[in-house]
Structure 1
Amino acid sequence: MHTGSATKPIVSASGRFEPPAPAPGTRPLRRLELIRTALRNPLELWSEDAYRLPWIETMFLTQRTLIINDPGLIRHVLVENAGNYEMSAVRRLILRPILRDGLLTAEGPAWKRSRKAMAPVFTPRHARGFARQMLAVSQAFAARYEQASAAGETVDIAGDMADLTYEILAETLFSGEIAADTKAFTDNVERLLHRMGRVDPFDLLLAPPWVPRLTRIGGGRLLASFRAIVAETMARRRRQIADSPAEAPQDFLTLLLGLEGPDGLTADEIADNILTFIGAGHETTARALAWTLYLIARLPDWRARMEEEIDHVLGEGGDPVDWLERMPHVRAAFEEAMRLYPPAPSINRAAIEADSWAAPSGERVVIDKGVSILVMPWTLHRHELYWEEPRAFRPERFMPGARDSLHRFQYLPFGAGPRTCIGATFALQEAVIALACLMRHHRFDITPQTRPWPVQRLTTQPQGGLPMRVTRRLSPG
């Protein structure tokens, strides 16, 4: 692991836009530097080798670590022998205090129960059923920009997209009955991730959970407030089910509450999963939407193609269920944004027992028991072995035909294997519908204050927000 300088937005030799990101490091980090960098922004840790080699064996403080970028090795760890790998100790120390036995953090039988219980809600067929609700929320949200766009005002796109995706999630999965105000809730999510969603020095040293983390002072009060919101949301719905069972919404919340029992989920597991979805379920899509709007502002030709596509489909009055397939330019921009700024920039595992993998070259990778495994979409998606112009914003990579040439395990915005994101189809559909509604009558452009810098706080966030100027776009209809 090394340290390197920052890179500003640049134009590559071929004329491609390369958005801001930490430059690969060129010298080894000293111990104190490593800790400081991990605390400030883990995305700045990675050396040139992490972007050039298929795998790297290293020592991260006292922990033996294998960083893997080879798609075949990733498939082996996350799919073919997934049962031999569990969430790494550092990841558990960061996430479990927040989400406990929610779907992201549960292990073993608790995870299997939750995954099995929720899978029917997030099948592609069921997710398509949410399209009209996503459309209604997105249209109403886009209408709020009318005054700002008429005046050419600057808005914080990062914060706004968090509000939008929270409102979509609240309406689709909870029938709009979460016991919390949108703006206050999303602001507190950001504060919670800032306090508790980053690495603490004691996490790096694998100190037990009961050792106080000074960097998380104040996070406990925020977490308690979220737990109170979950408890009130559950209580309201339980009263509704008891008083008028026929009138209670048949949504995700009702489904979870109906699963409580000896053969289903415990009350605590239900609460943990509700917190996981309302607290973190909207966060990843929000970040990817904000990055998409920033990136296309720097590539106006592609944005014009998206606008033409949106005008054509919406002009025909198309059903939003079909927009994901009918708007390939919109989808491609979103997918390329997730490549450059993956919402979940790292996947952390640890070997339960010794393992090995044979590369096509004949070289064998030996993985000892207890070794920490890092699969990092951040480096994988920018890797020189697997991508042409890996740092450039090139949405055409994800157009029909070109998308099919990618290796399944070189692009992991939603993870892979048994623990792949359960809401992947939901998120893609949500993103295309949201972008179409936002871009139908508005345009978002950079300003002198638009200087985003990616930082890792569980998700890949633009540090300090993402100010952009919104203006009215003259469009057909």
Structure 2
Amino acid sequence: MDIKPAPFIPPAPKPRTKPPSTLEMIRIVYRNPLELWGEPSYNEPWISVTGIGGPLVIANDPGLIRHVLVDNAKNYKMATVRQMILRPILRDGLLTAEGEVWKRSRKAMAPVFTPRHIFGFAKPMLDCSLDFLKRYEEVDSTDISHDMTQLTYDILAETLFSGEIAGTPGGFNAEIDRLFETMGRVDPLDLLRAPEWLPRLTRLRGRKTMAYFRKIVADTVAMRKEKIARDPKAAPEDFLTLLLRAEGPDGLSRDEIEDNIITFIGAGHETTARALGWTIYCLAEAPWERDRVEAEIDAVLAREPDPVKWLDAMPFTRAAFEEALRLYPPAPSINREPIEPETYKGLYIPKRAAVLMMPWTVHRHRKLWDQPDAFMPERFHPGNREKIDRYQYLPFGAGPRVCIGASFAMQEAVIALAVLLSRFRFDTLAETKPWPVQKLTTQPQGGLPMRVTPRR
């Protein structure tokens, strides 16, 4: 009789057994907020306390999460602390815009992310992934974390911008890491809700990087506008062209267009890159799961050349990616703030309270998941996936502000995994000791160095 191996437990901070002091909390939040949360955050439906920045509600209950993000979403705005961190980078991009600005941006981008358009992206996604394989033909080890950042950048540049982004991809990758290291982190003054005019010393180092990104965007827009002016029919019908066509008194301003470009070439590809890296790492540490995924990929690629159909034809591959998204959600916290006070099932939520719905803790909650710290893709196999509450699994958020690119990311991930794992096998090395750190995304500190071996 076959003995089922014990599931792989990937690295993660252990829940704290006692609350930190104020100074310790500030230090932890700046260094790595994932290390802050204690046992109650992984066991209770919600926690209501008064922190150094005022009232704080941590929402883990799926019903409460649905109430905040969907049922009573009109009473909740983006949290002040979150906006202090992200707005200096993204300004009025889709992730940070509110009110009418957000509505205009969402409406302008919606046509790009219809199923018809996303299916049309499958072939470029496949071509980019196949071209990317060339880098592994003459190497025996690589940092998968860095590689996936490059691959998802290539895919995004080709699909949403038709390969017409100014600057060099290599320089972009270095600068995006520097941007999230400097500006995408919580500053102690943010926790204290200090006025925005007070300079955040932790972000001053990021100004040069931010200027670099703004120049890339300005040059990219200028290139496309020049092409449209020469011959309107020559411009590709992509994300960039649609944004520029939405410019006008009743549409998007030039600043809003540039903010959304930064949002997508920055945060848009970074999230998928991190999830792909964690997936390959987890499969390497759970070879019995990798064997199942490789067998599925081999079988599908042998009979189905159309990448549009791979997402539905590869449930085990998709499940491995979804399980990595559960353990290492790219966006580990969702923050809201009530406009007016309210009560939910006896929980009083005061005005201006910081309401945190953290996929990091919700996805590892003891009352919601069996063996929550283990890598177990079978949770998402057909027949099991349907049993998971919509609001206990939030890799793309929920409600009106659900990630507009969720379907794009899922298709991209399965195509990339199918191509990579069909040709090469990735194994961990002695120095592969990643530690999850929350910056703008959940990143592997120390990278993901891995051995690369041709499969055939």
TM value normalised by structure 2: 0.98
Q: Say if 2:44 is the partner of 1:57.
A: no
- Where does residue 281 of structure 2 map in the other structure? 294
Q: Deviations over 1:274-297 (max 9, x none)?
A: 111111110000000000000000
Match of 2:155 among 155, 165, 168: 168
Are 1:368 and 2:350 matched, yes or no? yes
1:223 is matched by which residue type in structure 2? M
Residue aligning to 1:26? 17
* Deviation of 1:124 (Å): 2.7
Q: Does 1:429 align with 2:416?
A: no
Tell me whether 1:256 sits opposite 2:247 in the alignment: no
Distance in 1 (CA, whole Å) between partners of 2:419 and 2:6 is 30
Question: Contact between 2:433 and 2:446, CA under 8 Å: does it hold in 1?
Answer: no
Say which SS state the counterpart of residue 138 (structure 2) adopts.
helix
User: Which of 327, 344, 350 pairs up with 1:340?
Assistant: 327
Spell out the pairing of 1:369-448 with structure 2 (5 A cutoff): 369-448=351-430
Q: Report deviation, 1:240.
A: 0.3
Q: In the alignment, is residue 107 of structure 1 matched against residue 89 of structure 2?
A: no
* Residue aligned with 2:232, SS: coil
Q: Does 2:70 align with 1:88?
A: no
Q: Is contact 2:327–2:360 with CA below 8 Å preserved after alignment?
A: yes
Other-structure match for 2:7: 16
Deviation, structure 1 residue 208: 1.9
1: CA distance, partners of 2:303 / 2:32:
46
Unaligned runs of 5+ in 2: none
C-alpha separation in 1, matches of 2:53 and 2:5 = 43
- Amino acid in structure 1 at the alignment position of 2:259: D
Query: Is 1:78 equivalent to 2:60 in the alignment?
Result: no
Distance 1:47 1:209 in 2: 30
Within 5 A, what are the aligned runs for 1:142-153?
A: 142-148=133-139, 153=140
**CA shift for structure 1 position 14:** 8.1
* Larger deviation, residues 210-219 vs 268-277: 210-219
**Paired letter, 2:175:** N
| TM-score scaled by length of structure 1 | 0.94
Deviation at 1:317, TM superposition (A): 3.9
* Cα distance, 1:31 vs structure 2: 0.6
2:233 aligned counterpart, secondary structure: coil
C-alpha distance in 1 between matches for 2:383 and 2:408: 23
CA-to-aligned-CA distance 1:311-346 (integer Å, 9 cap, x gap): 111112431000000001110000000000000000
CA distance in 2, matches of 1:55, 1:124: 36
Matches for 1:172-187 after TM superposition, within 5 Å: 172-187=159-174
Residue 356 of structure 1, aligned match among 336, 339, 343: 343
Measure the CA separation in 1 of the matches of 2:136 and 2:5.
Answer: 36
Whole-Å Cα distance in 2 between the matches of residues 209 and 167 of structure 1? 35
Q: Distance in 2 between matches of 1:349 and 1:471?
A: 45
Q: How many residues align?
A: 453
CA distance in 2, matches of 1:348, 1:453: 24
User: What is the CA-CA distance between 1:129 and the residue it aligns to?
Assistant: 1.4
Deviation at 1:249, TM superposition (A): 1.0
Instruction: Give the deviation of 1:117 after TM superposition.
Output: 1.1
Separation in structure 2 between the aligned mates of residue 180 and residue 315 of structure 1, nearest angstrom: 38
| Alpha-carbon separation, structure 2, partners of 1:455 and 1:60 | 22
| Structure 1 segment 272-311 matched on structure 2, within 5 A | 272-311=259-298
* Aligned counterparts of 2:103 and 2:231: Cα–Cα separation in 1: 32
- C-alpha separation in 2, matches of 1:439 and 1:16: 21
1:5-45 per-position Cα deviation (integer Å, ceiling 9, x unaligned)? xxxxxxxx982211100000001210100000001000000
- Matches of 2:368 and 2:399, distance apart in 1: 20
- The CA deviation string for residues 174-224 of structure 1, in whole angstroms up to 9 with x for no partner, is 000000211110111011000000011111111222211111232011001
> Partners of 1:14 and 1:205 in 2: how far apart?
47
Shift of 1:125: 3.1
Q: Secondary structure at the residue paired with 2:437? A: strand
Q: Does 1:202 align with 2:189?
A: yes
- Counterparts of 1:296-335 in structure 2, within 5 Å, are 296-335=283-322
Q: Aligned letter for 1:274? A: I
Which structure 2 residues correspond to residues 432-471 of structure 1 after superposition, within 5 A?
A: 432-471=414-453
Cα distance 1:62–1:247, how it changes in 2: closer, same or farther (>3 A)?
A: closer
Which residue of 29, 33, 38 corresponds with 1:42?
33
* CA distance in structure 1 between the partners assigned to 2:304 and 2:392 by the alignment: 36
2:219 maps to which of 232, 244, 252 = 232
**Cα separation, partners in 2 of 1:312 and 1:14, compared to 1, 3 Å:** closer
1:159-180 deviation per Cα after TM superposition (whole angstroms, max 9, x unaligned): 1000000000000000000002
In 2: Cα distance, 1:446 partner to 1:122 partner: 36
Unpaired stretches in structure 1, ≥5 consecutive residues: 1-12, 359-363
Identity rate of aligned residues, in percent? 62
Q: Secondary structure at the match of 1:238?
A: helix
Q: Distance in 2 between matches of 1:194 and 1:102?
A: 20
State which drifts further: 63-72 or 207-216. 207-216
Which deviates more, 463-472 or 207-216?
A: 207-216
Matched residue type, 1:164: L
Partners of 2:409 and 2:148 lie apart in 1 by 13
Partner of 2:344, secondary structure, is strand
Aligned to 2:257: 270
Distance 1:270 1:307 in 2: 41
SS state of the match for residue 29, structure 1? coil
Paired amino acid for 1:209: E
Question: Structure 1: how far apart are the matches of 2:305 and 2:387?
Answer: 29
Q: For residue 230 of structure 2, what is the amino acid of its counterpart?
A: D
Q: Which amino acid aligns with 2:54?
A: Q
